Structures are given as C-alpha cells and as structure tokens.
Chain A
C-alpha cells in the first residue's frame, strides 16, 4: 500500500478552484520536489499534508486512512522563514522536541534528562554543521544557518515525513548548493519521505527521486480561478533530460504569463 495517496482530490475556496483532480501515490522513502507557478496550489497541497487545510472533494490518505486534521509529530516542517524560535539559542531550539515529549507540564528538563537531551541535540546539530553555534540566538545566525537549525529541529522528532516549503528560496546560490548537499545526505541517512516545494526548476531536476509539476491544464484568461491546477508532470528524477526541462519550463512560462496579465 502506498504511504500517501490522493484520490481525485479537489480544493476550492468558494468559486476559486485551487486544485482539481489530483491523483498521486507516494511510497515511503521517496524524495519529491514540487515546482509550479505561484498560485498553482503547491503550498495548498503542502498545507493539506501538514493538516492545516482539508480537501473539499476527494480523499487524501496516509497509510490508507484520512489525513490527520492538524499538524502532528509524524510530519516535520521547514518553512522559508520563521521556522525557529527567536527566544531560544540553537541548542535549546533543538532540544525543544525532547522537552515537549518528556516534560508535558513544564516543558523544561532538569538534571540527567536534560544532559541526555542536550547530547542528543548536539549530535543532530553536528549532522547539520551547527556544532560551533550552540549558544547563539537565531538572529545571530545567517539565513543558511537558520535553515540548518530548522532542519535539525525537525529531525530531532524523527518524523516519517519531512515537508520543506521553499526552504532555500531566500538563500544565496552558493549556500543553496551546500544546503542541497545537506538535505540529500540527510535523506540518504534517515530514509525519510521528503516533500520539497521550490521555485527553482533546476533544483527540482537533480534533487530527490521524483519531480512534480503543479500547473493549470485549462486556463481561462477572463477568470483565472475557474479551473484548478493538478500534477501535470510526474517524472522520476533520474530520467530527466534537457528536453523535458525545456518542455516544463515552457509550459510553466505560458501559464505564468497568463496568470500575471
């Protein structure tokens, strides 16, 4: 059985159709990159995976059951911004997941348990390359380091699914390449199922195992929201070639132009 399955899924806000007829299956351990024009439902789809939005028609299933209707610990998230807590140092940000679990009343650990949580956090921080910034606050970190912290924080919980919402969108190209390497190696080590939304088609072409393109097949220039988007390309990343790249790029360009005018 597939881990995640969308069956004829629709999402509408009143007359505004965001997604239509989305049919996909995802196996455990896949790394899916999602590209598409803004306003084409990528983020809406991610929100459904998070549990903060529900489909209006059709079904979205996790292990054959309806998706949970609120965020939970089996699904980690890294947003483009605001994913880390500004009032906590790097180490404390990372320990938080353990403290939530082991101290349901105070949310703080003391003594031996605390030391254990700290060493656990240190290990993960080493994995993402933040071992030298343990006592710094997020505002003292660069954008790339903040995203590393957000990833470390999510990994502490050992989620089954990791959701990345344009995690590297605000980073410089050089740092972005480092982050690609990091996420790729973390994925190989942990066997997580990853969904990553990106603006950058090239990013989607070499990261992960599978590329989805969200796009509107039908476009009404008079009424942008009459038709929703669906998954127009669903291709394994190994098989991508320049021809497909140009193909996708052109089709995205076309809808982008229509949407912007």
Chain B
C-alpha cells in the first residue's frame, strides 16, 4: 500500500470529489428547507427552490412596475461598472506607483513610508469622509474600492519589481538602456502578469468594499438590493443574489487567469 501522500485520484474521481461538498450543501439545504416549510408553510428563513426561482424570475425577467427596469440585470450592471472602474483605476495607479517605487530608490525613499501608512487606514472608516467629500453618487463608491485595494497593489508591485534579478538590471545597463528604457522594456512587461495576479487576489476585497458602499448609500446595485430586501426577510432574493455575486467573482477570476495565460505564456511556463 502506497503512502497517502503518493496517491492521486484519477480525473473522474477528482471531479466527483470536488463536486461532493457542493452536492452535500445543496441536499442539506433542501432537507432543512423542506423540514421548516412542513412545519410552517409561510417560513421565510429557508425558502424552497421554487420560491427562489419565482423571485429571481420576477426580478430578472419582468420589468419593475415602478421604473420599468429589469432590476436583477440593472443591479448587476451598476455593480459591475463600479467594480470595474474601481479595479481598473487601482490597477493603473498600482502599476505606475509600484514600478517607480520598486525601480527608483529616490522615489521609494520618498513614497514608500507614506503608502505603507495609507495602506493601514481601514477603508471603511474613511467611507463617511468619502460620502461627505464626493457626495452619495457613483464617485464615492468607486473611490472606496480604489482606496481599499490600491495600497495593496502598489506594495505588491513594488515587491515584484524589487524581486526581479539584479542581474537583469545590470545586463540591461550594459546593453545601453536608460532608466526609462529599463522600465518600459524590462520591468513593465515582466510585472504585467504579476499585476493580474494581484488583481485576482484583490477581487474579494473589492467586492467587500463595493457591497458595503452600496448597502450604506445607493439606489441600485447588487449590494443595495440585498440590504433593501433584508427588511422583509426576503431570503428568496438574498440567497440567489449571493450565489450570483459568487458566480460573478468566480467568472472574473477565471477570465483574468485565462487572459494572463494567453498573454504571458513565458510567465506561466516559469511556474511549472
């Protein structure tokens, strides 16, 4: 008998083992839901699948009576726009500051302590300031995401730049490169795949800040909806929304991963 650490499941078994926890949770939910509904058919805590389908159908397939919008989709669109803007801005700032911080000692001496301090400010604590400064509109939500994840991205990029082998920097100099050329031809292309990695890691935090901002002050968005219907204990809406948000996160992560593998084959080959 081989040791446990040397035994690997084959493909089918691996898939089945991976699916098992999902199936167990699903079945457990159905059973619990049935048990509660049997006792009290008006129970709202664990709604049945059919009532959840009905709720989603109402939000996603029928226009809202008040605004004529398909709420599920307009919520998704608003949230994804905010998330995309927030992450995009953070990526850009993180990339630029991360690179100059990592590559130029004078800039690093100047900015690194400041960025470290900024990164320690709890973003949700400054949310009221953002609302006061930028109003309750889109801007403050996007800014919250950016404030929340940019310091991490800058610091991660800075570390990545500094971890590039010094041999490469010296080699580039012997080939006649200026500081600028080293940044655009040696540093930038090598940290781009690492930037995608950092974005993937920040996705969870970005969603957290988005939903927090939407919950507190918003008139649409996935987070807004969840917190709105909480008042009516509408678990039949909340649960599908949570699953949908999870799916969106997973999908964005998958897209980023695939993009990175397509664009930077040399980087992912190094991993192996």
Interface residues of A (CB under 8 A from B): 50, 52, 70-73, 75-77, 79, 81-87, 96-97, 99-101, 104-108, 137-140, 150, 153-154, 156-157, 159
Please pick, from A52, A97, A137, the residue contacting B176 in the complex, using a CB distance under 8 A: A97
Question: With a CB–CB cut-off of 8 A, which chain A residues contact B178?
Answer: 100, 104
Contacts of A100 in B (CB 8 A): 172, 175-178, 181, 185
Contact between B184 and A157, CB atoms less than 8 A apart: no
With a cutoff of 8 Å between Cβ atoms, the chain B residues found around residue A101 in the complex are 176
- Contact string, B178-190, partner A, CB cutoff 8 A, digits 1/0? 1011001110011
- CB-CB under 8 A from B265, the residues of chain A are 137
Give per-residue flags for B160-178: 1 if the beta carbon is below 8 A from chain A beta carbons, else 0: 0000010110111111111
Say yes or no for B10: interface residue by CB 8 A criterion: no
A73 near B167 with CB under 8 A, answer no
B168–A85 contact, CB under 8 A?
Answer: yes
Contact A106 B168 (CB under 8 A): no
Total interface residues on B, using CB and 8 Å?
Answer: 25
- Asked if A50 and B185 make an inter-chain contact with CB atoms under 8 angstroms apart, the answer reads no
Q: Point out the residue from A81, A85, A106, A153 that lies within 8 Å of B186, measured CB to CB.
A: A85
Interface centre among A72, A107, A154 (most CB of B within 10 A): A107
Chosen A-B contacts, 11 in total, with CB atoms closer than 8 Å, are A50-B170, A52-B170, A73-B175, A84-B171, A85-B171, A86-B267, A87-B189, A104-B178, A107-B185, A137-B269, A139-B270
Whether B114 sits at the interface, judged by CB under 8 Å, is no
Q: Which residues of chain B are within 8 angstroms of A79 by Cβ–Cβ distance?
A: 167, 170-171
B264 within 8 A of A: yes
Q: Which of B173, B180, B181, B185 has a CB less than 8 Å from the CB of A72?
A: B173
Assess whether B184 is in contact with A153, with CB atoms less than 8 Å apart. no
Beyond A83-B168, A100-B178, 16 additional pairs, beta carbon < 8 A: A50-B174, A52-B170, A71-B173, A72-B173, A77-B170, A82-B167, A84-B171, A85-B172, A87-B264, A97-B176, A100-B177, A139-B266, A140-B269, A150-B171, A154-B171, A154-B175
Complex: A98 Cα to B236 Cα, angstroms:
64
Q: Which residues of chain B have C-beta atoms less than 8 A from A84's C-beta?
A: 171
In the complex, the answer to whether B185 meets A86 with C-beta atoms within 8 Å is no
The contact of A87 among B170, B180, B184, B267, by CB within 8 Å, is B267
Contact B184 A77 (CB under 8 A): no
A58 to chain B, nearest CB (A): 24
Chain B residues near A72 (CB, 8 Å)? 173-174, 176
Taking a contact as CB atoms under 8 Å apart, the answer to whether A159 and B185 are in contact is no
In the bound complex, residues from chain A placing their C-beta under 8 Å from that of B267 are 86-87
Q: Which residues of A contact B190 (CB under 8 A)?
A: 85-87
Closest 6 CB pairs of A and B: A82-B165, A71-B173, A82-B167, A73-B176, A107-B185, A97-B175
A162 → B minimal CB distance (Å):
10
Separation of A139 and B271 alpha carbons in the complex (Å): 10
Q: Is the CB of A83 within 8 A of B184?
A: no
Task: Check A154/B185 contact, CB under 8 A, given A137-B265, A139-B270.
Answer: no
The answer, among A70, A106, A140, for a CB contact under 8 Å with B173, is: A70
Q: Is the CB of A83 within 8 A of B167?
A: yes
In contact, A77 and B171 (Cβ under 8 angstroms): yes
A71 vs B122: C-alpha distance when bound (angstroms): 43
Complex CA distance for A184 and B152, rounded to whole angstroms: 50
Point out the residues of chain B lying under 8 angstroms from A75, CB to CB: 174
A86's partner among B174, B181, B270 (CB-CB below 8 A) is: B270
Question: Which A residues are CB-close (under 8 A) to B266?
Answer: 86-87, 137-139
Chain B: minimal CB distance from A27 (Å): 22
CA distance A108 to B184 in the complex (A): 10
A82 touches B168 (CB 8 A): yes
Contacts of B270 in A (CB 8 A): 86, 139
Residue among B172, B175, B189 with most chain A CB within 10 A: B175
**A85→B171 CA distance, assembly (Å):** 9
Say whether, besides A96-B185, A107-B184, A159 and B171 are in contact (CB < 8 Å): no
Residue in A72, A86, A138, A150 with the greatest tally of chain B CB atoms within 10 Å: A86
Q: How far is it, in angstroms, between the C-alpha of A217 and the C-alpha of B78 when the chains are bound?
A: 75
A127 to chain B, nearest CB (A): 17
